[in-house]
Amino acid sequence: MGEELKDKLLLKREEGWKNVDEKQNQDIMKLSEEYMTFLNNSKTERDFIKSAKKLADENGYTDIINKTELKAGDKVYFINREKSMYLAIIGENDIQENGMQIIGSHIDSPRLDLKPNPLSEEGGMAYFKTHYYGGIKKYQWTTIPLSLHGVVVKTNGEKVEISLGESEKDPIFTITDLLPHLAQEQMEKKLKDGIEGEDLKLLIGSIPANDDKAQEKVKLNILKLLNEKYGITEADFMSAELELVPAFNARSLGFDQSMVAAYGQDDKVCAYTSLSAMMSLEKVKNTAICILSDKEEIGSMGNTGMESHMFDFFISEILNKLGINKPNLLDKVFCFSKMLSSDVDAGYDPIYAAVSDNLNAGYLGRGITLNKYTGARGKSGASDANAEYVAWVRNILEKNNIKYQITELGKVDIGGGGTIAYILANKGTDVIDCGVPVLSMHSPYEVTSKYDIYSAYQTYSAFWKE
């Protein structure tokens, strides 16, 4: 009787791996391999968009700019300034009455950007000065190999692409730290002050130019090398976007290889799984939209972030090219739409258990996590998903046998966070956060479970097929 009641009434919380059969295990491992390969080529938003465009082109998607009209089954995308992308499959149902089914992730990750005047020389060493992007623990970014990615645009419009430090043949860069022998004072500081933002200076060279009259000979020699290789001068850094990311690759983690360790899994794990779920879709009932957004880590501002009108423009173009657009239709379509804000969640870390409410934490290996709300303190800044919508999403997961957990980001009043959920919710769309739990989030080497990566893929497929 007790067992029967328990089975009927209690919420089951169990490891996903428990019921994985041989075939499913192969699918889980295969997806993770593909994910890791994709990640290694897509560490920055510009690199991610390149990889995503290639995948979309191979799967029959067309740039919406090249289409004059659209019909059910058409697959289109729009790339916004090489840094964000929206994809769509036009649904069979009337978009005016049924809205869209949107999955939105972000492809920017915390990192170090070069300052606009980056190049300096001190004590016979040349450095690039940096400005960190997003919420990082600064001490984690010293003494690791870093690679340089991005573009330098000259005043004549010529764009020079730089990617250095990924190939074994390339040099890498690093930020030095003080030896323990002389770090007595540093070690007394608070962790957040141990490494100052201004001290995140990238070591880039040490050979002086062969010129007795020149000041800053090492800096001059670096400029000479950069000019020979890329045709750029010091002034060209003013119109550049150069990013430093960890030079190491995504790897399987653990004796059982159950996890993935990689840079930038927030939020490329959700971006990749949603993109790849979309690639396997053919016909959909309601128009399916995949958002790969930029600038989430700094508040989604700017014209490549989700706060901009670029996404509205894309949906308006769909309505125009379906030949149905009229005043206020865009607003109506948003109000009738549903969205999964696919962003990562804080995974429960037993070493730091004190920050989690273990009844409401996201555990690695127990499947996709739903966050009804995020925010801080008294849910401040949260988009709180409506119970009716949460039930609708639960129903999809349960009928497709997908393991899920509903979670909060840490204990009450411990901290907080947010995603792009509120932006679409403010347009009237039903939204819930739905992603993969991560350990060491925002660090150079984040950890996820392969089981959860697979369940994210299953969730996003099932959502669009609903």
Residues that bind Mn ion (CB under 5 A): 266-267, 343
CA–CA gap between residue 87 and residue 104 (Å, rounded): 10
Q: How far is the CB of 273 from Mn ion (least distance, A)?
A: 14
Under DSSP, the state recorded for 100 is E
Q: What is the dihedral of CA 419, 404, 270, 251, to 10 degrees?
A: 120
CB of 417 to Mn ion, least distance (A): 7
| Least separation in angstroms between CB 443 and Mn ion | 11
Residue nearest to Mn ion (CB): 267
Number of H helices, E strands in the chain: 12, 22
Tell me how far apart the alpha carbons of residues 124 and 131 are, in angstroms, rounded to a whole number.
Answer: 22
Token digits of residue 58 = 């191979």
Give the nearer residue to Mn ion in terms of CB position, either 286 or 300.
300
Name residues whose C-beta falls within 8 Å of residue 386's C-beta, 6 or more positions apart in sequence.
430
Least gap, CB of 86 to Mn ion (angstroms) = 18
State the SS3 of 50-97. HHHHHHHHHCCCEEHHHCCCCCCCCEEEEEECCCEEEEEECCCCCHHH
Rounded CA Rg of the chain: 24
- Compare residues 266 and 349 and give the one whose CB is closer to Mn ion: 266
> From the CB of 434, what's the least distance to Mn ion, in Å?
12
Indicate the residue among 165 and 418 with the shorter CB distance to Mn ion: 418
In this complex, which beta carbon is closest to Mn ion, that of residue 99 or of residue 347?
A: 347
Distance between CA 8 and CA 4 in Å, rounded? 6
d(CA 334, CA 331): 5
Tell me the closest approach of the beta carbon of residue 317 to Mn ion, in angstroms: 27
Least separation in angstroms between CB 133 and Mn ion: 11
What span, in angstroms and rounded, lies between the C-alpha atoms of 292 and 135? Answer: 20
Smallest gap from Cβ 442 to Mn ion, in A, equals 6
Q: Structure tokens of 354?
A: 């004190």
Nearer to Mn ion, 99 or 104 (CB): 104
Q: How far apart are CA 315 and CA 86, in angstroms?
A: 9
Q: Which residues pair with 360 in a beta bridge?
A: none
Tell me the C-alpha distance between 376 and 116, whole Å. Answer: 33
Nearer to Mn ion, 166 or 343 (CB): 343
